[in-house]
Amino acid sequence: MKKLDMYIHIGYLFVLRRTVPTYSSAKETKLMLRQITVLAVACAVGLLLSAGRVSAAGEPIDLAALADWDIVVAEDAIASESYAAREFQKWFGEATGQSLPIVSKVDRPVRHVFIGAGPAMLASPVGFEAAQMPAEDFRIVARDGCIAIAGGQPRGTLYGVYQLLEDEFGVRFLTFDHTHVPQLPAKPLLKTIDRAVHPPLTYRCSYYGENFAHPDFATRLRGNAFTDDPQLGGRSRRQLINHSFAHQIPSKSYGVEHPEYFALRGDKRLAPVEDDFFGTEPCLTNPEVLKIVTAQVLKEVDEHPDRENVSVSQNDNNLFCLCPDCSAIDRKEGTPMGSLLTFVNSVAEQVESRHPQVKVGTLAYWYSRRPPLSIVPRKNVQIQLCSIECCLTHPITDANCPLNREFCDDMRRWGQLCDDIAIWNYNTNFSSYQLPNPNLRAIDANVRYFVENHARGIFMQAAGNTTGAEFSDLRNYLISRLLWNPELSGSELIDEFLNLHYGTAAPPIRSFIELVHDQAQASGKHQNCFGNLAKRGLDASLGERGIALFDEALRLAASDQQRQWVEKASLCAYRAAIEPSWILDSEDPLDEALATQQRPLVKKFFELCEKHQVPMVSERTTTAERLKDYKRLFRVAEPESL
Q: Poorest-confidence range of 62-66, 120-124, 160-164, 540-544?
A: 62-66
pLDDT of residue 638: 64
Please tell me whether residue 49 adopts helix, strand or coil conformation: helix
Average pLDDT over residues 265-286: 98
Share of the chain above pLDDT 70, in %: 90
- Alpha-carbon distance 605 to 607, whole Å? 5
pLDDT tier, 185 (very low <50, low <70, confident <90, very high otherwise): confident
Average pLDDT over residues 248-268: 98
Which among 79, 117, 86, 121 has a CA at the least distance from the CA of 100?
A: 86
| Per-residue exposure over 288-315, b if at least 16 CB sit within 10 Å of its own CB, e if not | ebbebbbebbbebbeeeeebbbbbbbbb
Sign, CA dihedral 85-88-91-96, equals: negative
Average pLDDT over residues 392-404: 94
- Amino acid at residue number 472: S
Average pLDDT over residues 167-192: 92
pLDDT of residue 615: 98
Between 64 and 104, residue with greater pLDDT: 104
pLDDT of residue 265: 98
E strand or H helix that includes residue 483: helix 472-484
CB-CB neighbours of 316 under 10 Å? 17
Q: Poorest-confidence range of 152-161, 210-219, 449-458, 578-587?
A: 578-587
Average pLDDT over residues 381-407: 96
Instruction: Reply yes or no on whether the pLDDT at 387 is more than 80.
Output: yes
pLDDT in tens, 154-169: 999 999 999 999 999 9
pLDDT tier, 17 (very low <50, low <70, confident <90, very high otherwise): very low
- Amino acid at residue number 186: A
| Per-residue exposure over 222-251, b if at least 16 CB sit within 10 Å of its own CB, e if not | bbbbbbeeebbbbbbebbbbebbbbebbbb
Instruction: Reply yes or no on whether the pLDDT at 108 is more than 60.
Output: yes
pLDDT of residue 640: 62
pLDDT of residue 586: 63
Cis peptide before 272 (omega within 30 of 0): yes
- Alpha-carbon distance 39 to 27, whole Å? 18
Q: Where are the alpha helices (DSSP H) in 193-336?
A: 209-213, 215-220, 245-248, 251-254, 276-279, 287-303, 324-333
pLDDT of residue 51: 38
Helix-helix angle 287-303:337-354, to 10 degrees: 50
pLDDT of residue 641: 64
Q: Check: CB of residue 486 under 8 Å from CB of residue 447.
A: yes
Average pLDDT over residues 21-33: 38
pLDDT tier, 23 (very low <50, low <70, confident <90, very high otherwise): very low
DSSP-derived pairing of the beta strands 70-72 and 102-103 = parallel
* Longest distance between any two alpha carbons in the chain, whole Å: 92
pLDDT of residue 584: 83
pLDDT of residue 12: 38
Instruction: Reply yes or no on whether the pLDDT at 241 is more than 80.
Output: yes
Instruction: Reply yes or no on whether the pLDDT at 3 is more than 80.
Output: no
Sign, CA dihedral 306-308-312-316, equals: negative
pLDDT tier, 68 (very low <50, low <70, confident <90, very high otherwise): very high
Share of the chain above pLDDT 90, in %: 84
Instruction: Reply yes or no on whether the pLDDT at 219 is more than 80.
Output: yes
Burial of residue 280 (CB within 10 Å: 0-12, 13-18, 19+) is buried
CB-CB neighbours of 318 under 10 Å? 12
Q: Check: CB of residue 147 under 8 Å from CB of residue 114.
A: yes
Question: CB neighbours of 452 closer than 8 A, spacing ≥ 6?
Answer: none
Instruction: Reply yes or no on whether the pLDDT at 72 is more than 60.
Output: yes
Torsion on CA atoms 349, 354, 359, 360, rounded to nearest 10:
-50
Average pLDDT over residues 506-513: 98
Average pLDDT over residues 618-628: 96
Q: Where are the alpha helices (DSSP H) in 18-78?
A: 26-51
Q: Check: CB of residue 552 under 8 Å from CB of residue 530.
A: no
Q: What phi, psi does 32 have (nearest 5°)?
A: -60, -45
pLDDT in tens, 541-577: 999 999 999 999 999 999 999 999 999 999 999 999 9
Q: Where are the alpha helices (DSSP H) in 52-147?
A: 79-96, 119-122
Burial of residue 104 (CB within 10 Å: 0-12, 13-18, 19+) is middle
Q: What phi, psi does 262 have (nearest 5°)?
A: -125, 170
Instruction: Reply yes or no on whether the pLDDT at 59 is more than 50.
Output: yes
pLDDT of residue 254: 98
Which among 206, 175, 205, 171 has a CA at the least distance from the CA of 94?
A: 171
- Alpha-carbon distance 521 to 537, whole Å? 8
Instruction: Reply yes or no on whether the pLDDT at 123 is more than 70.
Output: yes
Instruction: Reply yes or no on whether the pLDDT at 639 is more than 80.
Output: no
pLDDT tier, 27 (very low <50, low <70, confident <90, very high otherwise): very low
Q: Check: CB of residue 538 under 8 Å from CB of residue 524.
A: no
- Alpha-carbon distance 331 to 407, whole Å? 21
Measured CA to CA in angstroms, residue 111 lies from 101, 165, 287, 332, 583 at distances of: 12, 18, 67, 69, 64
- Amino acid at residue number 324: P
**DSSP 8-state code for residue 589:** P
Instruction: Reply yes or no on whether the pLDDT at 138 is more than 70.
Output: yes
Q: Poorest-confidence range of 93-102, 111-120, 586-595?
A: 586-595
E strand or H helix that includes residue 152: none
**DSSP 8-state code for residue 262:** B
Q: Check: CB of residue 383 under 8 Å from CB of residue 418.
A: yes
CA atoms in the 13 A half-sphere facing the CB of 472:
27
pLDDT in tens, 290-300: 999 999 999 99
